[in-house]
Amino acid sequence: MRRLLNVTAAVLLVLTTVPAVASASVKAVDLGVLPGGEYSFANGIGNAGTVVGYANTDDDLVHAVSWTPDNRITDLGTLPGDVGSSATGVNDRGVVYGNSYAESGRGRAVRWVDRVIQELPPLPGHVETLASAINEAGTVVGVSVGADYTDEHAVAWDRSGRVVRLAELPGDQVSQAIGINDAGLIVGYSGRYGTIADLHAVVWTPDGSVTPLVFDGSNAGAAEGIEDTGVVAATIVDRDNRLHAVRFDSDGRGTDLGAGLRATGIGEDGTVLGTRSDRGALHGARWRPGTVEPEFLTVGYAVAAVSRTGVTVGTTRGAGTTSRAMAWTPDGDSGTRLPSLGGPSSSASAVNDHNVAVGSAEITRGVRHAVKWHL
């Protein structure tokens, strides 16, 4: 699943030596900007080293971009008639997914193959789409939206670009696909308009059929991520209207990871990511494989991503209004601040299976460039 992490076989984790994150040896690599542009941001990185994100052009439009492993930038462009785009992630075959935007702000899900943009079409009668994740087969999942914005349905686009509507649970009106694994299992929610308590956590099979995820008698909530063995991270609302982060095994059995917590994703090593809101302050957390106690890592931001070796990256609040890109080993350390590019703030957004992280860092206050760190 290419929303928060990169694909691996679980058995490899046992055979892999986890490298330490050593601040003295980590260098910030400035990935640069488009000709005439001022800023850039990196959103994702594949195992082959391709980085994707967005940057402004010489006429200050925002375009999706990619960087080669040796840091050369390419403008990926927009769909005809659109004024902006952003690349969200990339699989190990180099297929990039993201969204292209009209001047009105209306978005269209897109995929780039060999740097050629392809529109991922909406359902009949719909006017907008949003891409959420991609797997190694190139299947992209997301949502298709009707003209009145009350008609929203989870969809998947296969390698040919054909759109498939994913079924809602009986009686539900809306749905959205959030993640997909390499077996083609898709997670997200089905429900009604309202709060998270009006949604239902679900898993879809590749043919589009839907199964609810139930924990302690409740199905209210949303599934936020799935790894390749079928383990799901979800937020479940219990019968007393309390939020719980829950880890579901491949047979659908849930393990409570704590009340007052939300799941935000899962890594291929089984690390669950999540958040807690405490008096308006957001705290990012992780649960290492087989554990039920959260480790709170960040303040003000969710934890971004985790590699197959358990190296976790994210952003935490710094002094004043600044932010700091951080990395943590799987061993429960206090974390390492990743170097910036001379300015006061930085943020980390993704990490690949080789523990190369990407994000953005200020070169001067208020001006950011995409950055890469070899951890």
Instruction: Please tell me whether residue 15 adopts helix, strand or coil conformation.
Output: helix
- Strands 261-266 and 272-278: what pairing? antiparallel
Are the CB atoms for 53 and 40 separated by under 8 Å? yes
Q: What is the pLDDT at residue 3?
A: 53
CB atoms within 10 A of CB 192: 14
3-state secondary structure 261-315: EEEEEECCCCCEEEEEEECCEEEEEEECCCCCCCEEEEECCCEEEECCCCCEEEE
Instruction: Read off the amino acid at residue 361.
Output: A
Q: What is the pLDDT at residue 356?
A: 98
CB atoms within 10 A of CB 105: 9
Which letter does DSSP use for residue 59 in this model? T
pLDDT tens sequence across 298-343: 999 999 999 999 999 999 999 999 999 999 999 877 899 999 999 9
- Rg (C-alpha) for the chain, rounded Å, is 20
CA 281 to chain centre: 21
Which letter does DSSP use for residue 338 in this model? P
Which residues in the chain show pLDDT less than 70? 1-24
Q: What is the pLDDT at residue 24?
A: 62
- With tokens 């992209």, the residue in question is 140
**Strand ranges across the sheet with 107-113:** 84-90, 96-101, 107-113, 116-119
Contacts of 304 (CB under 8 A, 6+ apart): 4, 313, 314, 315, 348, 349, 350, 351, 359
Domain limits of the chain? 10-374
Partner residues linked to 42 by β-bridges: 53
Q: What is the pLDDT at residue 5?
A: 40
CA 272 vs CA 53, 160, 233: distances in Å: 24, 32, 6
In CATH, 10-374 is 2.60.210.10: no
Which letter does DSSP use for residue 10 in this model? H
